[in-house]
Every structure is written in structure tokens, then in C-alpha cells.
């Protein structure tokens, strides 16, 4: 494939968003010279050839997929053994129709052919490609190593299944050998794994003959009765996985083309290259004949494309504004898309790089040749060079893209280049789209607002945007002004700006602190974020090619949240009626995936216990004692009233107690869609905000309640552990020494963290909200001892109500444990539930309660499961419907 684009005058740029390194220069005029820091290559000097080995991400991905497929095959073979055994029996019955002598001959011949395939492939490749013999020998050595590893893995699986696997799995993947009643076939069939591993790892181009031989060998094994379908599948999976594991472990010979191949491809595309000089990973600067502009050539290979596959696919799944996962497309399709967007931008009048040619370099590589034009990116410009005229020019270029509905998607500093004349060029259009949606176009505006504000502040960024686009267009982008909608480099720059801002405000401390502060400021400077403004004449000299200007150096930007808020405030100043409610750009949150995965794991672990225990817990729940069951229901209902007491007691302002009780009941509904105690904290904070309490005070009140809850939880745990040790036989549990040891370990860990300066500063940053917000709120509460007593009493009673509920549930199913042991079980299990990422602590709480009841309360598995199932039914499942009704009622009344 070779596509030439004839253009003599172009404005180009640099920077790639797909992982390819961009050229050091920015746009200029055709016929420009190479950068002074890179010597001009002499004619006929192709530059050093790629050497060594590289680990390709695609090999790691395929290795993980293969391991998962092998595991899934073994699990399905065991759990669906009836189906697996039925398929094997049907195949064996069909194989009996083949005459035994014929099946034996076919099996011997197919095995011999299978072993000859690697030899035939190696000889054929060495004879047909003499110039590439060294590289072919490297591939063949990789294939030989993969074959050895695959054969060893097959033997290991055979031995493991015979010695360690349960009899059900052995029966599912094997069958009796013909004529031998006591022997069975191998779990992994024959030589399929090593042969497939050799052919895959050696990068063999011929696939038809090996596939035919592998298929014939597999059919012969089935016909002779020496293999089952599962054994064949395992052999193929082990061979494929071993091949890619080998390729990732030792690497593959560098697949990048040699400079001579690059020059030849450019000549075939109609260009006149003289020499190529390496200028970075996968990048060459190419000099052409006199009168033709030099070229900046970017190499694309399947390794770079696949490296972004997982990240891009996840971003596409998660965000509505993410680009399409082009890693799933071929190199040709990616080149065509990039060229199409570039040509569309040029047709729209945008200053951007012009493509001189695109060409394919075999099956796994391609190139894009741009006309090389010097310049600097936005993050390379000094602060005094960022004039209002330059900012206006950047917005004018974006306006041209917006007018033609072309999205850029990556307006980061490296995508904004300024040539020697001071003209702005928008480059890096690889992720752009034609006929983009309104949401994506507004994302570009929000991205450029933030990118420029990081350098010049919110006021100048918004003012120049409004001057070019108008207040309505800029105001429409406010709902997209949220970190998740911005590029990753921008989010990183926001964090670095925050660290630099804190370093500038912090007083001079010890040497280590000062060194870290300087490193934070330097990291911000490298990321394109200016450091704090200096007074006096200590500023560094400007670049030699800087455009003279009288604009002052901009001040350091505020922290991330304040910067985005400042941008919103500036936009609302010009357009007060602009929408400010954030648009939901996330389709799927990582927390949601984690919750779903946790629920699946919980069901996987708990359901077998429900039906595999000696005593059916479902039947035990059905036969529960009515009196104890009624007491359990009353205790569960009372917990909502005591939770409301523990909530309002830590709020100095007056609250409606009825609404507070309904809010705690609504928490039973909210925690089904949020992990642990996160949902309750958010719900209580929102309730206080709607009650007219400022956000800072609302968060502080909830934080005070959480702090008291933690302290009281530990005190209750210690008290019940002490009571448990006083009971007959309680000393055998050694619960008190275990708790004391845990607290001592936590103290030692805290002391160790405090002794390390970076860890101490990290801990201080996490505890700063406690000292700056929670403690002042606590001091305010101390002026109302009656209200504080209500809060403490409520916190104590809510734990006791839930302990009583669990105790009554256990008694309802006919067990009689000590109350102290049930209390210890609940307090530990509740702590596990608050730390678990699953909704309502599903899975983690249930497993912890069952396990602790078995060991601490000396209950059998069936009784423990029955008691926990009844308890979770009363406290997690049944309150959902009333919680939803309370949630809806509070929302209609404006209380949530």
C-alpha cells in the first residue's frame, strides 16, 4: 500500500495521542532544515538498523487469554461433567464404526506427519529466504523453546490430573483405553501442544498444511479412541498459550523495518528520499533531494497498536465521549482514517500537518510521512510568549474544526504547535472524527479551556474563547468541564499543578521537604504547568526564537478543583444562564464492575454451601421459632430508629427526627447500589445539605459521627471479647490476646509510617480533613452535651440492636450460642462489610459471619448458614422496598 500526497506548502505539527512519539519540531515552511541538534545524515547513510528483541503486549494479552481459557475448560469439564462425558461417549460410539486396523494405521501415519511438520517448515523457510537466515534462525529457536515448554506443560497437566484432580474431573476429560479396563487416555492428547507451539512461536507464514495435519491427527486420535474432545481442546490451548508465553518471556526479534526498507517504500510512493536519520523510537527524519521538503516519518507496527487495545477498549466502554478503539482495526484502516481526518481539517482551512505519503511495510508495519516543519509545542513556550493573540489564534483554529463538525479529541499542549512566525497549528488528529456529535465537539472546547487555563489562568482562557466562539458556545461546554471528560495528560497536569501550588505556599522546611517541593515544581514545569510567579529579575532568559511581547508571566494555577471552578465562574460571568449541571459521560464505573464481580463471587461461594451442607439452611429458616423470629424483626426495625438517634445527635442544627428516621431507612435501599458504608455517608451528607446546612458543616457532622462510631465499635469489641474470655471455655479462643496483638501491630505500623517522611506527609494529608473540619465541629458539639449524649447512645444502641437481631435469628433456628460470642462475630463481620467493595457487603459479610459463628460460637455449618441467611433477610433484603419508598418520599418532599 502506498499513497502519495503532493503538497509543497504545508503547516504541520506533531504529537501523537496513540502512543507514537511525535517529532521534536513544529510547523514551519516547506523546505526547512532539520533541527540543529540532529546532524544532517549523509547521502546513502541509512542509519542504524533495529536490533535486539522486544516484548510485544499482544503476546502478554494472548498468554492471559490462553490461561483463562485453560482454566475455564477444566472448570466447565468438572461442573458440566454430564455433558462432557456424554459428548465423549457419543464420539467414542461413532469411532467404533471405524475398523480398528484402519484407525491404528491412520493414527500412526498422522502422528508421523505431525512430527515432520516442524522439520518441513524449518527447512522450507531456511532454503527460500537466504538473506533473512539470521532472523529466521531466531524465530526457529523461539519455536523450539516453545515446543519444549508446551510438551513439559502437557506432561505437568497429565500428572496433575492423575495425582491431584478429583475423580469427577478425571472421568470428564478421559475415557478408558481400548482393550484396557483399568487404564485411561491422557488428559492432554499427544503432540498437538508442542507442534502448535512451534508453528506459532516460530512465526511460520504457511498455515494451510499445518492446519490440515493437526486436524487429521486429532480425528485419528478420536477414531482410535486415544483422545476425548476435551483432551484435544486442552492440547491446542496449551500449545497456543505456551507459544505466546515464550514470545513474551524472551521477546521477539525486532519487527521494525530497516531504514533501507523505509527509503524504498518512500521511493515507491513517489518521493525522493536521500537518507534517513533515527530521531527517536519509531521515528525517522528523512532528507529529500534539493527543492523538496524534508520528511518526518512515523512508523506504525502491530505492537504499538495492540499496546493501546485494552486501555482504549476500556475507555470506550466506560465513556460516551471516548474515541472508537482503533486498535481493533487493521493498520491500513488506521492509516486511512488518519489521512481522511487530516485532509478534512486541511479542507476546513485549519493549519495542521499535511501528509506527504502513507505506505505499508509488510503485514505488521506501516508508515506515515509528514512534511517536516520546525516549531515548538505549547508546553515548550515561555510564559511571556503566551500572548492574547496566540490564544485567540488557537481558538480560531478550533472554531474552523467545529464549523465542519470535526472533533480533535486530544487538545493537550503537545497538540498545539507554534511556528517561528507565531502561528498556531492543531496537530495530532489520529483520534479525531468527522461528523462528530455535539457532545464530543463540546468536549473539545472544555479540553482546550482547561489546557490553556493551566498555562495562562482561567480569566484569559475564557476571555479569548468567548471572543472567538461567543458566550453561548462556550457556555454550552460547561457541563463537560469535569475531570473524567478531560485527557489523561490534562488530569495529570492538574494534579501536578496542585502539588506545585502547595509547594509554593508551604514554608521552607527540612532539606528533604524542600527537595520534594522542588521536584514537584519541576514535574509541573515539564508537564507544561508554570511554577509560581517570581518577583524581581530572577526569571530565566527567553528562548532565542521567542516572539517579543509585553505580556506578564502568568501566575501559578490553583489546585485542580479550584481551577475548574474558576473556569466555570468566568464563563458564568459572561453567560449567567449557561447550564452548569454536569453531563453524565460515564457509561460504566469501575466501582460498578467491582460490585458486580463481588456479587458473582459471593453467589459462587455461598450457593454451593446452601445446598451442599449436611443440614439444609433453607429448611431451617422455614422451621424458625416464631417468638425468636418476632424478636429479631423488632430488633431490626429498632435499629433504624437508633441509627437516626446516632445521626442527629452529632448535628448541632435542629433536624426533623421523622425525616432522619426515613433517611436511615432509605439507606437500606441505597446500600444495594453502593459498596460498604459509602452509600450511607453520601445519603446522610445529602440529607444535611437539603436541610440547609452548608456542605463543609454537613461533611464535618457526618465525619464526627463516623469517628465516634469507629471508637465505640472498638470499645464494644474489646468489651465483648473480655466477656467472651470470662465464659467457661472462652479462654481457649485466645480472643483477647489476638485483639491486643492486632492493636499493638497497628500501633507499630503507625509508628513506622510516622518515622518515614514521605509516608508521614501522605498520612498527614489524609488526616488533614480530620484536624481542619471534624475536630472544630466536635468542639462545637461539646457545647451541647445533651445532644452529644443522644448521638453516643444512638451509636451504641444501633450496634446492640443488630447484635440482638443476629442473636435472635440464631436462636430462631434452634441454636443457643452465647450472646457475647454473637456480638464479637457481628462486630468483626460488620467491619469486614464496611471494607468490602460489594453492595451491602454481599459475600464478604456472609462468609465472615458464617466462618466466625463456626469457630467463635462453636456452631455447625448448617446452623450458621441458616442463622446468617435469616439475619441478612431481615436486615438486607426485606428493608429494600420500604427503603425505596422512603427514598422516593424524601425526594418528593425535597429532603434528598
- Convert the pLDDT of each residue in 279-333 to its tens digit: 777 778 888 888 888 888 878 776 666 655 666 666 677 776 665 544 445 667 7
Reported as a pLDDT band with limits 50, 70 and 90, residue 733 is very low
Cell representation of residue 342 = 487530516
Reported as a pLDDT band with limits 50, 70 and 90, residue 429 is confident
* Cβ–Cβ < 8 Å for 809, 706: no
Residues present in the chain in total: 896
Cβ burial 359-383 (10 Å sphere, 16+ → b, else e): bbbeebbbbbbbbbbbbbbbbbbbb
- Using H for helix, E for strand and C for coil, what is the string for 705-744? HHHHHHHHHHHHHHHHHHHHHHCCCHHHHCHHHHHHHHHH
Name the β-bridge partners of 278.
284
Q: Which of 341, 647, 383 has the alpha carbon at shortest distance from 528?
A: 383
Q: State yes or no: pLDDT of 1 exceeds 80.
A: no
Residue of 798 and 533 predicted with greater confidence: 798
CB-based burial of residue 445 (10 Å sphere; 0-12 exposed, 13-18 middle, 19+ buried)? Answer: buried
Q: Which of 115, 130, 133, 109 has the alpha carbon at shortest distance from 199?
A: 115
Q: What is the pLDDT of residue 12?
A: 33
Residue 577 CA to chain centroid, in angstroms?
37
Q: Which of 294, 301, 361, 379 has the alpha carbon at shortest distance from 12?
A: 294
* Cβ–Cβ < 8 Å for 353, 425: yes
Q: What is the pLDDT of residue 283?
A: 79
Q: State yes or no: pLDDT of 529 exceeds 60.
A: no
Name the β-bridge partners of 2.
359
| Strand ranges inside 399-447, DSSP E | 406-407, 416-418, 424-426, 433-434
Q: What is the pLDDT of residue 115?
A: 84
Q: What is the pLDDT of residue 394?
A: 94
Averaged confidence pLDDT in the chain: 75
| CA–CA dist 306, 313 (Å, integer) | 11
* Cβ–Cβ < 8 Å for 826, 834: no
| CA–CA dist 230, 84 (Å, integer) | 8
Q: Which of 614-628, 684-698, 768-782 has the highest mean pLDDT?
A: 684-698
Q: What is the pLDDT of residue 423?
A: 92
Q: State yes or no: pLDDT of 391 exceeds 90.
A: yes
Reported as a pLDDT band with limits 50, 70 and 90, residue 527 is very low
| CA–CA dist 329, 651 (Å, integer) | 57
Mean pLDDT (whole number) for 453-459:
91
Reported as a pLDDT band with limits 50, 70 and 90, residue 730 is very low
Q: State yes or no: pLDDT of 344 exceeds 60.
A: yes
Residue 480 CA to chain centroid, in angstroms?
21
Q: What is the pLDDT of residue 412?
A: 92
Reported as a pLDDT band with limits 50, 70 and 90, residue 206 is confident
Helices (H), 80-166: 81-95, 100-128, 133-163
- Would you give the DSSP letter of residue 378? G
CA distances (Å), 219 to each of 99, 117, 151, 232, in order?
14, 17, 20, 10
CA distances (Å), 476 to each of 203, 397, 449, 701, 850, in order?
53, 19, 13, 36, 54
**Cβ-based neighbours of 339, under 8 Å, separated by 6 or more:** 3, 5, 355, 358, 368
- Encode pLDDT of 70-85 as tens digits: 988 888 887 777 777 7
CA distances (Å), 482 to each of 79, 278, 541, 572, in order?
47, 39, 36, 16
Lowest mean pLDDT, pick from 179-188, 311-320, 803-812: 311-320
Q: What is the pLDDT of residue 310?
A: 62
Q: Which of 255, 438, 324, 443 has the alpha carbon at shortest distance from 18?
A: 324
Q: What is the pLDDT of residue 80?
A: 75
* Cβ–Cβ < 8 Å for 494, 454: yes
* Cβ–Cβ < 8 Å for 285, 12: no
Reported as a pLDDT band with limits 50, 70 and 90, residue 541 is very low
* Cβ–Cβ < 8 Å for 467, 428: no
Q: What is the pLDDT of residue 255?
A: 65
- Encode pLDDT of 111-128 as tens digits: 888 888 888 888 888 887
Percent of the chain with pLDDT over 90: 13
CB-based burial of residue 553 (10 Å sphere; 0-12 exposed, 13-18 middle, 19+ buried)? Answer: middle
Cell representation of residue 318 = 466506560
Cell representation of residue 800 = 446492640
Cell representation of residue 193 = 501442544
Cα end-to-end span (Å), the chain: 61
One-character DSSP codes across 238-257: HHHHHHHHHHHHH-EE--SP
Q: State yes or no: pLDDT of 465 exceeds 90.
A: yes
Percent of the chain with pLDDT over 70: 71
Q: Which of 82-96, 183-197, 416-430, 532-546 has the highest mean pLDDT?
A: 416-430
Lowest mean pLDDT, pick from 643-647, 701-705, 710-714, 837-841: 837-841
- Integer-rounded Cα Rg, in Å, for the chain is 35
Mean pLDDT (whole number) for 325-342:
69
Cell representation of residue 437 = 456529535
Residue of 576 and 672 predicted with greater confidence: 576
- Encode pLDDT of 550-601 as tens digits: 333 444 444 445 788 889 889 988 888 877 777 777 777 666 666 566 556 6
pTM (2 decimals)? 0.58
Q: Which of 221, 248, 235 has the alpha carbon at shortest distance from 55?
A: 248
Residue of 734 and 287 predicted with greater confidence: 287
Helices (H), 691-835: 695-726, 735-755, 757-769, 775-781, 785-812, 819-835
Q: What is the pLDDT of residue 240?
A: 92
| CA–CA dist 413, 379 (Å, integer) | 5
Helices (H), 251-297: 259-268
Q: What is the pLDDT of residue 728?
A: 52
Mean pLDDT (whole number) for 11-17:
36
CA distances (Å), 691 to each of 644, 666, 667, 776, in order?
15, 16, 17, 21
Mean pLDDT (whole number) for 17-41:
40
Which run of H or E residues covers position 366?
A: strand 365-371
Q: What is the pLDDT of residue 181?
A: 59
Q: What are phi and psi of 805, to 5 degrees?
A: -65, -45
| CA–CA dist 218, 91 (Å, integer) | 12
Q: State yes or no: pLDDT of 533 exceeds 50.
A: no
- Encode pLDDT of 215-271 as tens digits: 888 888 888 777 888 888 999 999 999 999 998 888 877 666 777 888 888 888 888
| CA–CA dist 8, 548 (Å, integer) | 29
- Encode pLDDT of 97-115 as tens digits: 777 777 778 778 888 888 8
Amino acid at each position: 500500500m502506498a499513497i502519495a500526497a503532493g503538497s509543497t506548502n504545508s503547516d504541520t505539527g506533531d504529537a501523537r495521542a496513540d502512543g507514537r512519539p511525535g517529532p521534536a519540531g513544529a510547523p514551519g515552511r516547506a523546505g526547512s532544515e532539520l533541527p540543529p541538534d540532529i546532524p544532517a545524515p549523509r547521502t546513502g547513510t541509512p542509519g542504524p538498523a533495529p536490533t535486539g528483541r522486544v516484548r510485544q503486549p499482544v503476546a502478554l494479552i494472548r498468554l492471559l487469554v490462553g490461561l483463562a481459557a485453560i482454566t475455564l475448560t477444566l472448570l466447565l469439564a468438572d461442573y458440566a461433567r454430564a455433558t462432557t462425558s456424554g459428548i465423549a461417549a457419543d464420539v467414542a460410539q461413532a469411532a467404533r464404526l471405524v475398523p480398528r486396523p484402519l484407525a491404528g494405521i491412520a493414527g500412526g501415519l498422522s502422528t508421523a506427519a505431525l512430527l515432520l511438520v516442524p522439520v518441513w517448515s524449518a527447512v522450507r523457510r531456511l532454503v527460500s529466504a537466504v538473506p533473512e537466515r539470521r532472523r529466521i534462525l531466531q524465530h526457529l529457536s523461539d519455536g523450539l523453546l516453545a515446543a519444549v515448554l508446551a510438551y513439559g506443560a502437557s506432561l505437568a497437566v497429565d500428572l496433575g490430573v492423575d495425582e491431584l484432580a478429583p475423580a469427577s474431573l478425571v472421568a470428564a476429560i478421559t475415557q478408558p483405553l481400548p482393550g484396557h479396563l483399568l487404564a485411561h487416555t491422557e488428559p492432554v492428547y499427544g503432540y498437538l501442544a508442542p507442534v502448535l507451539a512451534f508453528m506459532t512461536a516460530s512465526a511460520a507464514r504457511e498455515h494451510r498444511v499445518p492446519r490440515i495435519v493437526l486436524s487429521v491427527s486429532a480425528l485419528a486420535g478420536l477414531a482410535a479412541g486415544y483422545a476425548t474432545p476435551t483432551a484435544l481442546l486442552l492440547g491446542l490451548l496449551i500449545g497456543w498459550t505456551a507459544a505466546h508465553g515464550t514470545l513474551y518471556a524472551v521477546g521477539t526479534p525486532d519487527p521494525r523495518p530497516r531504514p533501507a526498507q523505509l527509503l524504498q517504500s518512500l521511493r515507491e510512493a513517489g518521493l525522493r528520499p536521500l537518507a534517513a536519520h533515527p530521531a527517536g523510537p519509531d521515528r525517522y527524519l528523512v532528507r529529500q533531494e534539493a527543492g523538496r521538503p524534508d520528511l518526518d516519518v512515523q512508523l506504525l507496527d502491530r505492537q504499538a497498536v495492540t499496546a493501546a487495545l485494552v486501555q482504549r477498549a476500556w475507555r470506550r466502554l466506560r465513556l460516551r465521549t471516548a474515541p472508537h478503539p482503533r486498535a481493533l482495526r487493521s493498520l491500513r484502516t488506521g492509516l486511512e482514517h488518519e489521512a481522511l481526518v487530516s485532509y478534512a481539517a486541511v479542507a476546513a482551512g485549519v493549519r495542521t500537518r499535511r501528509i506527504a505519503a502513507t505506505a505499508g511495510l509488510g503485514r505488521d508495519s506501516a508508515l506515515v510521512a509528514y512534511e517536516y516543519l520546525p516549531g515548538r509545542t505549547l508546553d515548550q513556550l515561555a510564559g511571556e510568549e503566551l500572548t492574547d493573540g496566540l490564544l485567540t489564534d488557537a481558538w480560531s483554529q478550533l472554531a474552523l474544526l467545529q464549523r465542519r463538525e470535526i472533533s480533535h479529541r486530544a487538545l493537550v499542549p503537545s497538540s498545539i504547535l507554534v511556528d517561528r512566525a507565531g502561528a498556531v497549528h492543531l496537530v495530532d488528529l489520529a483520534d479525531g472524527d468527522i461528523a462528530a456529535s455535539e457532545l464530543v465537539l463540546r468536549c473539545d472546547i472544555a479540553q482546550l479551556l482547561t489546557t490553556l487555563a493551566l498555562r495562562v489562568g482561567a480569566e484569559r482562557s475564557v476571555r479569548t474563547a468567548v471572543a472567538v466562539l461567543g458566550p453561548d458556545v462556550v457556555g454550552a461546554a460547561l457541563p463537560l468541564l469535569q475531570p473524567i471528560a478531560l485527557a489523561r495528560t490534562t488530569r495529570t497536569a492538574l494534579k501536578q499543578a496542585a502539588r506545585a501550588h502547595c509547594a509554593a505556599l508551604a514554608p521552607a522546611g527540612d532539606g528533604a521537604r524542600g527537595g520534594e517541593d522542588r521536584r514537584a515544581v519541576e514535574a509541573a514545569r515539564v508537564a507544561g504547568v508554570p511554577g509560581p510567579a517570581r518577583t524581581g529579575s530572577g526569571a530565566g532568559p527567553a528562548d532565542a526564537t521567542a516572539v517579543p511581547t509585553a505580556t506578564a508571566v502568568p501566575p501559578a494555577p490553583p489546585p485542580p478543583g479550584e481551577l475548574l471552578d474558576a473556569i466555570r465562574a468566568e464563563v458564568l460571568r459572561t453567560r449567567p444562564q449557561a447550564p452548569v449541571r454536569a453531563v453524565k459521560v460515564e457509561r460504566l464505573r469501575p466501582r460498578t464492575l467491582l460490585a458486580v464481580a463481588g456479587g458473582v463471587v459471593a453467589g459462587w461461594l455461598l450457593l454451593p454451601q446452601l445446598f451442599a451442607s449436611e443440614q439444609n439452611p433453607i429448611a431451617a429458616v422455614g422451621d424458625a421459632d416464631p417468638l425468636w423470629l418476632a424478636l429479631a424483626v423488632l430488633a431490626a426495625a429498632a435499629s433504624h430508629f437508633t441509627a437516626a438517634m446516632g445521626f442527629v445527635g452529632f448535628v448541632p442544627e435542629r433536624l426533623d427526627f421523622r425525616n432522619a428516621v426515613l433517611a436511615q431507612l432509605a439507606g437500606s435501599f441505597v446500600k444495594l447500589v453502593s459498596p460498604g458504608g459509602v452509600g450511607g455517608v453520601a445519603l446522610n451528607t445529602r440529607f444535611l445539605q437539603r436541610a440547609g446546612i452548608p456542605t463543609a458543616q454537613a461533611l464535618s457532622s457526618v465525619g464526627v459521627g463516623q469517628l465516634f462510631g469507629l471508637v465505640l465499635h472498638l470499645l464494644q469489641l474489646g468489651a465483648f471479647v473480655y466477656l467472651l474470655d470470662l465464659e467457661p471455655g472462652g479462654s481457649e479462643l485466645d480472643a483477647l490476646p489476638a485483639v491486643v496483638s492486632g492493636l499493638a501491630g497497628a500501633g507499630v505500623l503507625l509508628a513506622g509510617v510516622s518515622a518515614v517522611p514521605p509516608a508521614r506527609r501522605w498520612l498527614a494529608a489524609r488526616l488533614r480533613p480530620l484536624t481542619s473540619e471534624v475536630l472544630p465541629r466536635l468542639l462545637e458539639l461539646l457545647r451541647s452535651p445533651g445532644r452529644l449524649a443522644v448521638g453516643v447512645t444512638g451509636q451504641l444502641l444501633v450496634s446492640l440492636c443488630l447484635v440482638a437481631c443476629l442473636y435472635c435469628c440464631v436462636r430462631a433456628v434452634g441454636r443457643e450460642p452465647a450472646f457475647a460470642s454473637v456480638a464479637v462475630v457481628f462486630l468483626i463481620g460488620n467491619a469486614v462489610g464496611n471494607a468490602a467493595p460489594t453492595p451491602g457487603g454481599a459475600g464478604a459479610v456472609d462468609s465472615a459471619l458464617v466462618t466466625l459463628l463456626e469457630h467463635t460460637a462453636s456452631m455447625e455449618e448448617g446452623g450458621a448458614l441458616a442463622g446468617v441467611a435469616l439475619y441478612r433477610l431481615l436486615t438486607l433484603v426485606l428493608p429494600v422496598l420500604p427503603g425505596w419508598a422512603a427514598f422516593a418520599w424524601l425526594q418528593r418532599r425535597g429532603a434528598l
